Amino acid sequence: MFPLQITFLGTGTSMGVPVIGCDCKVCKSENPHDKRLRTSMLIEYDGAKVVIDSGPDFRQQMLKHEVNHLDALVFTHEHKDHTAGMDDVRAYNFIQRQSVNVFATESVEMALRNEFHYAFAETKYPGVPEIKFYRIGEEDFEIKGQKFEPLPVLHHKLPVLGFRLNDFVYITDANYIPEETWLKIQKPKVLVINALRRTQHISHFTLEEAVSIANEIGAEKTYLTHISHQMGKHDHVNAELPDNIRIAYDGLIVDLD
């Protein structure tokens, strides 16, 4: 097992925070922790760099965190706020002089091939993204020697994959955890889970639900992500939570031995 370094590249919902045209207290906040790009995660271990999801802010996130090489891009599901930035892997094609490894389920691969059809055309325009797909499902897989354990969950009716790496559990865009997945997420050192807002939502956990899950599985430390402006100000929400449960913020780094 490799020591892991986890960087929250983005912790916002599909519209990000601030929301265009919104003048609520959260969107007008001057606290940098209330500025949230679309949800994405960088995982580093033994020199490897793996990014989970490439949303619309992917380029900005890679530049901000100086991610100058990329070993793999892993997708949780096909929604645009998690896939729209994939075109920008072109930079890594140029730098690394090879295709970018993309790990995705069949449904996600189909969506990517449709959305970025020019990258997979029989006759390609020069400079389009060069992608090498690796099909994933519910079986464990490895990237650069690190085991990724898929965690099937539901985002309303859409199947989504979370992942467990060692004692780290990552679940975004979900409002239902099947029984077989519950058995795989027990007692992690670090849990990252989506908590969209305080009130009920059709496809995301609420703050109360996410806290309950963290307590039920016995997570030592929990970070909440995929936060909307409806949640409230970062510091105010954190003040209400137990010490071992925190609202994450963009740029937060967590180390796991």
Number of folded domains that form the chain: 1
pLDDT of residue 1: 82
Is 93:119 a contact under the CB 8 Å cutoff?
no
Question: Whole domain around residue 132: which residue ranges?
Answer: 4-256
Between CA 42 and CA 85 the distance in angstroms is: 15
CATH classification at residue 14:
3.60.15.10
DSSP the chain: ---EEEEEEE-B-TT-BSPTT--STTTT---GGG-BPBPEEEEEETTEEEEE---TTHHHHHHHTT----SEEE-S---HHHHTTGGGGHHHHHHHSSPEEEEE-HHHHHHHHHHTGGGS-SSPPTT---EEEEE--SS-EEETTEEEEEEEEEETTEEEEEEEETTEEEE-S-SB--HHHHTTSSS-SEEEEE---SS--SSS--HHHHHHHHHHHT-SEEEEESB-GGG--HHHHHHHS-TTEEE--TT-EEEE-
Structure token pair of residue 13:
């919902």
Q: Which CA distances in Å does 220 have to 183, 185, 237, 240, 242?
A: 17, 12, 19, 18, 11
pLDDT by residue, tens only, the chain of 257 residues:
899 999 999 999 999 999 999 999 999 999 999 999 999 999 999 999 999 999 999 999 999 999 999 999 999 999 999 999 999 999 999 999 999 999 999 999 999 999 999 999 999 888 999 999 999 999 999 999 999 999 999 999 999 999 999 999 999 999 999 999 999 999 999 999 999 999 999 999 999 999 999 999 999 999 999 999 999 999 999 999 999 999 999 999 999 99
Rounded Cα distance, 125 and 14, in Å: 30
Alpha-carbon span 74 to 137, nearest angstrom: 12
